[in-house]
């Protein structure tokens, strides 16, 4: 009986940790695979293709520091954790640094948009000099 209780307790802890870590992670690909697709990934970066149709919105999620490369013009809006909304307008070909954070994006325009997001995995990586 003691062995069963140890096993049951360890299993309960493992399940709880996996559920809570997933809930806190809020990975865009996991919570909104309709709009977010992984194009490439290694130990330094993850490259996402992001597409939204007119009027579509996501769910609250987060990204690490990243670089966004816009493949189309965008008329969008971010809703932040505190409920504040921030408009976003970009042009095809524009490249922006995007600091880490949580948001709920929406396409408020009448055209679809797409972009590539290069998420940084290792902020302390040091470039090697030849």
Segment 73-92, tens digit of pLDDT: 999 999 999 999 999 999 99
Q: What angle do CA 44, 118, 107 make, to 5 degrees?
A: 155
Q: In what order do the strands lie in the sheet with 113-120?
A: 36-41, 45-52, 113-120, 66-70, 95-98
Indicate whether 32 belongs to any domain.
Answer: yes
Indicate whether 49 belongs to any domain.
Answer: yes
Cα separation, 99 vs 41, whole angstroms: 19
The predicted model scores a pTM of 0.77
Indicate whether 93 belongs to any domain.
Answer: yes
Residue ranges of the chain with per-residue pLDDT less than 70: 1-25, 123-130
DSSP 3-state of 5: helix
Q: Which residues pair with 9 in a beta bridge?
A: none
Assigned token pair, 86:
């921030």
pLDDT at residue 5 in the model: 45
Indicate whether 38 belongs to any domain.
Answer: yes
pLDDT at residue 122 in the model: 82
CATH of the domain at 106: 2.60.120.10
Indicate whether 82 belongs to any domain.
Answer: yes
Q: How far is CA 105 from CA 4, 6, 32, 86, in A?
A: 47, 44, 11, 9
Indicate whether 2 belongs to any domain.
Answer: no
**56 near 76, Cβ under 8 Å?**
no
Indicate whether 5 belongs to any domain.
Answer: no
Indicate whether 99 belongs to any domain.
Answer: yes
Give the number of domains in the chain.
1
Q: Which domain holds residue 107?
A: 26-120
pLDDT at residue 1 in the model: 55
């Amino acid at each position: 009986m003691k062995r069963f209780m140890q096993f049951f307790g360890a299993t309960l802890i493992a399940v709880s940790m996996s559920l809570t870590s997933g809930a806190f992670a809020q990975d865009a690909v996991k919570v909104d695979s309709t709009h977010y697709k992984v194009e490439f990934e290694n130990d330094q970066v993850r490259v996402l293709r992001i597409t939204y149709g007119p009027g579509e919105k996501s769910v609250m999620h987060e990204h690490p520091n990243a670089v966004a490369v816009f493949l189309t013009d965008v008329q969008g809006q971010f809703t932040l954790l505190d409920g504040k909304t921030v408009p976003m307008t970009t042009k095809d070909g524009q490249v922006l640094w995007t600091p880490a954070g949580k948001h709920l994006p929406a396409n408020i325009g009448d055209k679809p948009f797409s972009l590539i997001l290069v998420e940084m995995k290792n902020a302390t990586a040091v470039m090697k000099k030849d």
